[in-house]
Amino acid sequence: MDYDTETDTYTCVMGKTLFMYRESKDKYSKHNVTVSHYRCEDCTGCPRRKECCKAANSNKPKELRVRKQYEQKRAASEENINTQEGVYLRLCRSIQVEGAFGLLKNDFGFRRFLTRGKRNVRTELFLLGLGFNLKKLWKKQQTGRLHTHLSVLSSA
């Protein structure tokens, strides 16, 4: 679907235009999100209807619900991720997080929680993280890298 910002319409693959016919509030969202409802003018006889429209009734036109605030936030997030700093932070995170899970599984032999219940699992995970961080600190101390950092420190 292609979106035209000037006319606030969508165009399907077959060239049919979907016009906005109403707006409503998303009653399940906590963030007061507005939902825009778009409907095709006429979908009868469309050869690609099965791909485009999931409605069981073949006489019912194609409808589309769009949450524009989510689209704006998604675009802003995409912009942040693709900056030079965003690429650097993603690189650092992928290195740090994947390695941590690998070490927990391989070195610590952690495959599953030994306790049941949210509070007990949280305590077990806290102790596992504490052990991991202490081992990391000990290794840094042994190799003389105690005051080195992978990324630039920022003041709070």
- pTM attached to this predicted model: 0.51
What's CA 31's distance to the chain center, in Å?
Answer: 17
pLDDT (tens digit, 9 = 90+) per residue, 104-142? 888 888 899 999 999 999 999 999 999 988 988 899 889
> Tell me, what amino acid is at 139?
K
Report the alpha-carbon distance of residue 67 to residue 33 in Å, rounded: 7
Residues in Cβ contact with 66 at an 8 Å cutoff, skipping those fewer than 6 apart: 35, 36, 38
Q: Are 36 and 66 in contact (CB under 8 A)?
A: yes
pLDDT (tens digit, 9 = 90+) per residue, 46-77? 787 777 777 777 777 888 888 888 888 899 99
